[in-house]
Amino acid sequence: MEDAEADPTARTLRLLELMTARRFWPGAELADRLGVAERTLRRDIERLRTLGYRVGAVRGRHGGYRLRADGALPPLVFTGDEAVLISTALAQAARSGAIGDSELAQNALAKFETVLPSAAATRARAIRSAASFTVTPSEPVDPGVVAVLAMACRDRERLRLRYSAATAPADPDADRTGHGAPAHDEGRRVEPARLVAHGRRWYLLAWDLDRDDWRTFRVDRIRRPEPTGVRFAGRPVPGGDAAAYVADRIDRLQRVHAATILIHAPLAEVEEHMRGYAEGFRAVRTADGAEATEWPIADVRVEVLASCLVWLTWPFEVLDSPELVDLLRACARRFAAASGSPPTEGARSPGA
């Protein structure tokens, strides 16, 4: 106890570090973490206030302290590991534009690195030079929205928000995931559990109070999230892993259809014709030794695969997708009927 009280400056910095780590600290717990008496803690709180920090106090048996937000951002205290993490995250945000504008992240990174200790700066640069990022989000999200959602998850605070739901016919579970075509804007009352970055998007996993069930919301479709001030007891996430739960929900709805197309034409000819439209072609030879091209294609909708084949001007076969073959046969019948020329009996079907 005496050692903890010996250096008020070091203790005040430690107090500031703790105050920024949590929204609210019970007085007894905070004093215990600092290793001081509550009377000493009160003096340290006053010292922070004289330095310009707005520290609120709640009196009573369950009283404590919290650092209030103000118009200006006060100095914060980070450990070396935290500083490296922040620098790396800002660099990735600047590359991808994942949250807000890329220039915003670049400016923040420049400011941050001007005060980064040399050891931490060296580690951060090493990580950035050794890391590659291949996935960029398809829809950037509002940093203000992300901040509100993150704080509500942390503090277990209910939110009201507006959400652009999706009701595309191809997505029977669109209300759960937000996939499909944007439809109507509606109000939701939720208990946020976790923000999850999956694939090319950010999602919020939350308990929907009106639907009495878990829902996964696309963050880029959330507008005007408003804290209600109402706290809630955390619910166990299905399976105990929010990221795994969200990934499973999304992946099941986005089951990828894949097919390999055998194009009866040389690779160079196919690439010349399809340049700018497709890629991934590879040269092969057929059983009789003729030059041919294989083209692996994939999409979450088999109809998209069929539309890709319209661009082909050579004979082709579908090697490994019965679903695509069935769809092409159905399309052939519809196209023939539309042209007034029924399919010739005995004509070879794709993939047959």
147 shares a domain with 246: yes
Is residue 87, in this structure, part of any structural domain at all? yes
169 shares a domain with 236: yes
Output the tens digit of pLDDT for each of the chain's 352 residues. 444 556 788 888 888 888 877 778 888 888 888 889 888 998 989 988 888 788 888 887 778 888 876 655 666 677 777 878 788 777 777 666 556 666 677 777 777 777 777 887 787 777 766 665 555 555 677 777 888 888 888 889 999 999 987 544 333 334 444 444 444 678 999 999 998 887 777 889 999 999 999 999 999 899 999 999 899 888 898 888 888 898 888 877 666 788 999 999 999 999 888 876 777 899 999 999 999 999 998 877 888 889 889 889 999 999 988 999 999 999 999 988 888 876 554 434 444 4
182 shares a domain with 239: yes
What SS3 state is found at 291? strand
Token pair of 60 as six digits: 């009573």
124 shares a domain with 107: yes
Domain termination site, one of 253, 275, 309: 253
List the CATH number of the domain containing 309: 3.30.70
Q: What are the strands, taking DSSP E only, across the chain?
A: 25-26, 55-58, 64-67, 157-166, 182-198, 201-208, 213-218, 222-231, 257-263, 282-285, 291-299, 316-318
Phi and psi (nearest 5°) for 41? Answer: -60, -40
30 shares a domain with 103: no
The rounded Cα 233 to chain-centroid distance in angstroms is 25
Measured between alpha carbons, how far apart are the two ends of the chain, in Å? 83
pLDDT of residue 176: 45
244 shares a domain with 154: yes
pLDDT of residue 221: 92
Buried b (16+ CB within 10 A) or exposed e, 125-137: beeeeeeeeeeeb
What SS3 state is found at 218? strand
291 shares a domain with 198: no
| Residue 150 amino acid letter | A
* 203 in Cβ contact with 195 (< 8 Å): yes
Please give the tally of structural domains in the chain: 4
210 shares a domain with 264: no
Which strand (E) or helix (H) includes residue 32? helix 27-34
Is residue 346, in this structure, part of any structural domain at all? no
List the CATH number of the domain containing 11: 1.10.10.10
200 shares a domain with 162: yes
Is residue 352, in this structure, part of any structural domain at all? no
Cα–Cα distances in angstroms (integers) from residue 97 to residues 7, 88, 103, 148, in the given order: 44, 14, 8, 19
246 shares a domain with 148: yes
pLDDT of residue 166: 54
Residues 6+ apart with CB under 8 A from 326: none
Is residue 137, in this structure, part of any structural domain at all? no
249 shares a domain with 150: yes
**24-62 confidence digits (pLDDT tens):** 888 888 888 888 988 899 898 998 888 878 888 888 777
Domain termination site, one of 205, 233, 253: 253
Is residue 138, in this structure, part of any structural domain at all? no
32 shares a domain with 59: yes
Is residue 38, in this structure, part of any structural domain at all? yes
Q: What is the mean pLDDT of the chain?
A: 79
Residues 6+ apart with CB under 8 A from 241: none
Domain termination site, one of 27, 44, 67: 67
Buried b (16+ CB within 10 A) or exposed e, 150-161: eebbeeebbbeb
80-88 long-range contacts, CB within 8 A, separation 24+: 80/117, 80/119, 80/120, 80/123, 83/112, 83/116, 83/117, 83/120, 83/124, 84/120, 84/123, 84/124, 84/127, 86/112, 87/112, 87/113, 87/116, 87/120, 87/121, 87/124, 88/124, 88/127, 88/128, 88/131
pLDDT of residue 167: 42
Is residue 197, in this structure, part of any structural domain at all? yes
Is residue 136, in this structure, part of any structural domain at all? no
Closest CA to 112 of 78, 142, 68, 136: 78
Percent of the chain scored above 70 by pLDDT? 78
Bridge partners of 262? Answer: 294, 317
Which domain, by its residues, includes 266?
257-339
